Amino acid sequence: MSPDQKTSPRAETPSQDTLRARATGKAFAKLLPFLILMYIVAFLDRSNISSAKQALQTDVGVSDAMFAFGAGIFFVGYALFEIPSNLILYRVGARRWMARIMVTWGLVSAAMMFTQGNLSFVLLRTLLGVTEAGFFPGIMLYLTFWFPEKERTRVLGVFYFGYPLAMTFGNPLSGALFGLDGAFGLAGWQWMFLLEGGLAVAMGIATYFVLPDRPQDVKWLTTEEKATLSTVLEREAASKAGARGHSVRLGALLHSTKLLQFLALYMVMQIASYGVVFYLPEQVSTILHEKIGLRVGLVSAIPWACAILSTYVVTKLVQKHDAPRFGLLGCLAAAAIGLVISGSGYGPVALIGLCIAAAGVVTVQAVFWNFPLAHFTGVQAAGAIALINALGNLGGFAAPNIRSFATGFWHTPIAGLYAVALSGVIGLVIAAFLPRTNNPEHSPPHHPRHRPVH
């Protein structure tokens, strides 16, 4: 049985099941569009740095090496403050804390317009990572307040559409904002940071007024729906808390071989992912033989549009055939092969390679989370998700630096591409030895429902 086919800790009656389905259906319709929009804005602020690379080098003298370091240093601050941020969210509520995250990162993102050189670039990127820390695991935690386990795989699959959607529309938007170059004495890249950072601030303010904390806080659920959904969620929480009889310390999780496998795989996935994200507009600019602008932005959207289609098709096939491992291996292979092909000197072939690579690095994210969610529950899951996301995202720090080092060492940008593509190959090896997704939760009734982490 696949992770998205888990049964609840206690069987629901038909009326309970109907009320639960109705409640989660309403939550899906009311919450997911706004959460996806939040995710899109988050990725705009992560990826717009790629569109500004050429201008930052020309206008303020940011070097190749410092661009790579600054692009990646975001993830160091992000990793250091991710777990504390999630703990604060749990205490003060998602509405207040997610609003704080978005407003402060929007202000810092807008402040990128004041970059004067290498030092200010690195400092602002570090601060951006600190202020955005906790966003993604905060969303993951928030979803557990609204959706029982059996609903979460579907919800996560839809939520992940925000990634390729942000890249599809973000690159043309950034390119269009470059067209404001010279207006009111500001360069195009300064307008891009100012307006896209302002968008994050506006979304943060909207989050405070729009995003409800818990089912009990909304008027669009009936009293019966609230009671049923709360009962199901509390029953799951009680079952998981009682499985081990005590809290699981984060230190104990670090001794889990499963967690270490998931963490290593997620890190190489992020190396491949940000090896594409940070450099795709520049590669398209080279293919088209023109500076980054609206046309480059529009062409840069093509690979991400392919990623949207891939995410929909592959996740459907994975669920239908209960084959997350094959989906994982296929996506990692596509990422590696696509990156290699994108180094072609023939423009159309290089663009096809970028399409394959983008599809691979995006879709693999949605497939990957089937594995840790199938092997960890309750407090284990909370700690595991935070650690995987916090430490795994350091791959985002490694990606531009690996690419920059390889390019400089072998004196060709193709070497940088191949070095990042190697992360996909390493990921294939790790994925081949991952534990099966069917955990004790899916075992026959006479087996224990939970096993200790080991």
DSSP summary character for residue 445: T
Q: Is residue 205 part of a domain?
A: yes
Helix count (H) and strand count (E) of the chain?
A: 19, 0
Q: Is residue 230 part of a domain?
A: yes
Q: Is residue 453 part of a domain?
A: no
Angle at 24 between CA 321 and CA 98, to 5 degrees: 105
Q: How many whole angstroms separate alpha carbon 187 and alpha carbon 191?
A: 7
Q: Residue 28, exposed/middle/buried by CB under 10 A (0-12, 13-18, 19+)?
A: middle
Q: How many whole angstroms separate alpha carbon 38 and alpha carbon 31?
A: 11
- Report whether 433 contacts 371 (CB < 8 A): no
Q: Is residue 448 part of a domain?
A: no
| 3 state SS of 8 | coil
Supply 72's token pair: 């990646």
Q: How far is CA 370 from CA 8, 313, 421, 435, in A?
A: 17, 16, 24, 12
Sign of dihedral through CA atoms 61, 124, 402, 419?
Answer: negative
In terms of residue numbers, what domain contains 72? 3-442
The residue type at 159: F
- 249-256, long-range: CB < 8 A, 24+ apart: 250/83, 250/383, 250/387, 252/453, 253/380, 253/383, 253/384, 253/387, 253/453, 254/387, 255/453, 255/454, 256/384, 256/453, 256/454
Number of domains in the chain: 1
pLDDT confidence of residue 451: 40
Q: How many whole angstroms separate alpha carbon 443 and alpha carbon 454?
A: 18
Please report the beta strands in 333-422, taking only residues with DSSP state E, as ranges in sequence order: none
- Report whether 343 contacts 418 (CB < 8 A): yes
- Report whether 367 contacts 269 (CB < 8 A): no
CATH of the domain at 259: 1.20.1250.20
* DSSP symbols for 281-347: HHHHHHHHTS-SSHHHHHHHHHHHHHHHHHHHHHHHHHHHHT-HHHHHHHHHHHHHHHHHHTT-SSH
| 3 state SS of 435 | coil
Q: Is residue 452 part of a domain?
A: no
Place of tokens 């994210």: 365
Helix intervals (H) in 61-117? 64-92, 94-111
pLDDT averaged over consecutive 10-residue blocks of the chain (454 residues)? 45 71 92 93 81 89 89 85 80 89 95 94 94 85 82 76 82 85 93 95 95 90 90 75 49 76 94 88 88 84 92 84 90 96 91 96 88 70 77 86 90 90 95 69 39 39
245 Rama class: left (phi>0) / alpha (psi -120 to 50) / beta? left
Q: Is residue 449 part of a domain?
A: no
Q: How many whole angstroms separate alpha carbon 400 and alpha carbon 277?
A: 10
Q: Is residue 450 part of a domain?
A: no
pLDDT confidence of residue 247: 47
Q: Is residue 451 part of a domain?
A: no
For the chain, the first-to-last Cα distance in angstroms comes to: 22
